[in-house]
Amino acid sequence: MTVVLPQPTLSRYAHVVRSGPKAVGFNSLTLEAFDLAPTDVSLLESVGRGEIVSPELLEPLIETGFLRDDVEADFQAIQRIADSRRERVKTRAGHFGTLRLSITEKCNMSCTYCFQQKMYPEDEQPVLSREQLTETLNWFIEQGRGYPLSIQYFGGEPLLEWDNIVYAHEMLSLAVEAGTIPSFRETVTTNGTLLSGQRARWLVDSGFDLTFSFDGPPEVNDINRLMKSGRGSFGRAMRGLRSWVEEGGRPSILMTATAGNVKDLPEYVRWFVEEAEVHPKDVGVNSPQPTSEGWETGGTELADAIWAVWKYCRSKGIFFHGPGTYIPTHLQTLIPQTDGCVDTGASGAEPSWPVYVSAEGKKSLCVVYHRDERVMADPQRSALEEGSKWHYAAEPLKECDSCIASQICGGPCALEKILWQGRLNSDRCDFMRQMTKLVLLDE
């Protein structure tokens, strides 16, 4: 009697990513990737078309989970993320390790795209008072007792509040002397225009890292990065960066992608590295600001630009950070993304969440959005309760199940769920899928 074996079917988690002759098979459920020979690709295409193929030929592909000879359970990818998140809550200490502190919402510039400056009317931007600063730091140090902490001075323009930066540094130093925390790191994200040589000297001596916002060469930078007078800021900002480097600071720039500049971002980075008067050792690209309509830049073109910049930086030995640069860690460790945009779970570091304190002294669980009751931390509840509620509450949508990026993207984060009311955002999805494919082809 002849036994008729069932014809295998393609798993819904099987993806073939191709570029020229290179083909990579990727199991989006297990995060395993492997090179596919042209014969494997043809076999998979035949199965996809429903053609009968000899079972012996298909055996190895069944072992990879690419082909199934049984009925595949629904929503395994969503389940895996939900299970991983539940597991993480059990195992993590749960403190806020990074404080993004908006020391003032005021700014001496008026960049055309600035989300921060759009949050408050021009003459009603708050400044953090000395009392609020002391209270915030006492709270941050106490809840992070025993852990290394990181503080990012942000704004508005943080260097407008110089005395408070010096004061905060002293408070953190005292916390180390008292043995409350083992160490701390301080960074300033600045437009650079208010940095004198003397200030640069103090910041270098005090161990600060500075990041200077620039979008490219002067004629490009000055399209959007404008002084209040409407004049371009490049010259003043470059003077600040020069002072920083002359005093021994590490040159680091941070770029903002817009619909107008995204395609040329790689060329602007090349210009900075090869032609500008100060050559950066670190290059960053800001994550797009989510709005109720989606992202301000298209997802696929942003991924292509980020990838080109990333590869160029790698070739020059420059450290690059930007959206999606965490993807290789997940592909190497096979650990799904559990904490949304701020995941540290796959990196092996002691996991912690970031928290944002606005210049009104309000704590937000999201570092990019704070003027909304729905993102605020409840001061009566612990960091663990608040962080878990925010970072683990959002489960991916059913549409995410067979997505190539499901275990890497994890679906819209808690803020995006609020802003997009349960819908997927095509810019974000296009970005995550394209970035995942580009990284896979590079592995």
Residues that bind ligand SAM (CB under 6 A): 107, 113-116, 154-155, 157, 189-191, 213, 254, 256, 286, 288-289, 296
Please check whether residue 262 is in contact with residue 150, taking contact to mean a CB–CB distance below 8 angstroms.
no
CB of 248 to ligand SAM, least distance (A): 21
Contacted by 336, from ligand SF4, ligand SAM, none: CB < 5 to 8 Å by type: none
Round to whole Å and give the CA distance between 392 and 85: 6
* Residue closer to ligand SAM, measured from CB, 173 or 229: 229
* Residue closer to ligand SAM, measured from CB, 40 or 304: 304
Q: Is 54 exposed, middle or buried (0-12, 13-18, 19+ CB in 10 A)?
A: exposed
Query: Given candidates 383, 409, 418, 439, which one binds ligand SF4 under the rule CB under 6 A?
Result: 409
Please check whether residue 225 is in contact with residue 111, taking contact to mean a CB–CB distance below 8 angstroms.
yes
Of 23, 20, 3, the closest CA to residue 440 belongs to 23
Please check whether residue 395 is in contact with residue 340, taking contact to mean a CB–CB distance below 8 angstroms.
no
* Residue closer to ligand SF4, measured from CB, 95 or 437: 437
Is 164 an interacting residue with respect to ligand SF4 (CB under 6 A)?
no
Round to whole Å and give the CA distance between 403 and 288: 21
What count of residues does the chain have? Answer: 443
Contacted by 433, from ligand SAM, ligand SF4, none: CB < 5 to 8 Å by type: ligand SF4
| Window contacting ligand SF4 (CB under 6 A); options: 39-47, 150-158, 309-317, 372-380 | 150-158
Round to whole Å and give the CA distance between 406 and 396: 8
CB of 231 to ligand SF4, least distance (A): 13
Contacted by 396, from ligand SF4, ligand SAM, none: CB < 5 to 8 Å by type: ligand SF4
Report the amino acid identity of residue 197. G
| Cα dist from 313 to 266, 274, 316, 403, whole Å | 10, 11, 5, 29
Which x/- pattern over 108-127 shows residues binding ligand SF4 (rule: CB under 6 A)? -xxx--x-xx----------
* Residue closer to ligand SAM, measured from CB, 156 or 266: 156
CA angle at 372 for the pair 289 and 137, rounded to the nearest 5°: 90
CB of 443 to ligand SF4, least distance (A): 19
How far does CA 410 lie from the centroid of its chain?
13
Is 387 an interacting residue with respect to ligand SF4 (CB under 6 A)?
no
Contacted by 405, from ligand SF4, ligand SAM, none: CB < 5 to 8 Å by type: ligand SF4
Contacted by 286, from ligand SF4, ligand SAM, none: CB < 5 to 8 Å by type: ligand SAM
For tokens 């092996």, what's the residue?
A: 348
Please check whether residue 386 is in contact with residue 366, taking contact to mean a CB–CB distance below 8 angstroms.
no
Q: Residue numbers of the site for ligand SF4 (CB under 6 A)? A: 107, 109-111, 114, 116-117, 155-157, 191, 396, 399-400, 403, 405-406, 409, 411-412, 424, 429, 432-433
